[in-house]
């Protein structure tokens, strides 16, 4: 499982107004909960974090992730760097990429998504609004061509990836960019790292 993590300077900028001085801590906490849930998923052999920032790198390595340096040439380039490491470590395994901002992610729901992905050469999970992507997966030996960013759902569909429109994986689809997203994720059940930071600024 590849998880790209932005530098803290760039992370969660749309939450700056609500989070204030807690924005960077929130970004690290969200990534930590995402990685922790992935590590707890029985179908995930390892988590490879791709980042150029030493703070989340250290935090996520402590949780058990393998950390790879981000070449800093965009999100999809970062994912391909993670893919290269995944293939080096285990060339016969399928590979998936997961957005780092899924603070309510549940291992069982991720397992359902990955089980569904195992039926197709290339597949993806759309985000909750239905325009972006939270998970992209390929089987072993299949070209890894992530198309994250902006309206990535349409690009993944156009590229031939199978859309996994499952009804029972809300925490896999609930990425967090705005305070409204965070409140929705809170209702689903935040992971402990995010919950501790969000409690400092998020009203009831």
152 is in an annotated binding site: yes
User: In this structure, what are the phi and psi dihedrals at residue 86, rounded to the nearest 5 degrees?
Assistant: -60, -45
User: Is 74 labelled as part of a ligand binding site?
Assistant: no
Q: What is the distance between the alpha carbons of residues 144 and 146, in angstroms, rounded to a whole number?
A: 6
Q: Strands (DSSP E) along the chain, which ranges? A: 2-5, 48-51, 66-69, 95-98, 122-126, 133-138, 162-163
Calculate the alpha carbon distances from 96 to 46, 105, 121, 137, 143 in Å. 11, 15, 11, 4, 12
SS3 75: helix
Long-range contacts of 153-162 (CB under 8 A, 24+ apart): 153/124, 153/126, 153/127, 156/124, 159/122, 160/122, 161/120, 161/122, 161/123, 161/124, 161/136, 162/120, 162/122, 162/123, 162/124
DSSP class of 161: P
φ, ψ for residue 2, nearest 5 deg: -105, 130
204 is in an annotated binding site: no
- Which residues are known binding-site members for phosphoenolpyruvate? 133, 149, 152
- Which residues are known binding-site members? 133, 149, 152
């Amino acid at each position: 499982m590849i998880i790209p993590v932005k530098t803290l300077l760039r992370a969660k900028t749309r939450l700056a107004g609500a989070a204030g001085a807690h924005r960077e801590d929130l970004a690290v906490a969200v990534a930590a909960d995402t990685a922790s849930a992935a590590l707890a998923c029985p179908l995930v052999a390892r988590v490879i974090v791709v980042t150029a920032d030493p703070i989340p790198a250290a935090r996520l390595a402590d949780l058990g992730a393998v950390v790879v340096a981000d070449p800093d040439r965009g999100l999809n380039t970062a994912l391909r760097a993670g893919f290269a490491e995944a293939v080096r470590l285990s060339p016969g395994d399928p590979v998936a990429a997961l957005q780092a901002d899924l603070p309510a992610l549940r291992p069982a729901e991720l397992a359902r998504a990955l089980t569904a992905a195992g039926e197709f050469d290339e597949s993806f999970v759309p985000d909750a609004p239905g325009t972006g992507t939270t998970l992209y997966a390929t089987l072993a030996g299949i070209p890894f061509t992530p198309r994250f960013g902006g309206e990535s759902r349409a690009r993944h569909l156009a590229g031939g990836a199978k859309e996994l429109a499952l009804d029972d994986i809300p925490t896999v689809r609930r990425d967090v960019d705005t305070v409204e997203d965070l409140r929705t994720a809170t209702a689903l059940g935040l992971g402990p790292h995010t919950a501790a930071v969000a409690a400092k600024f998020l009203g009831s």
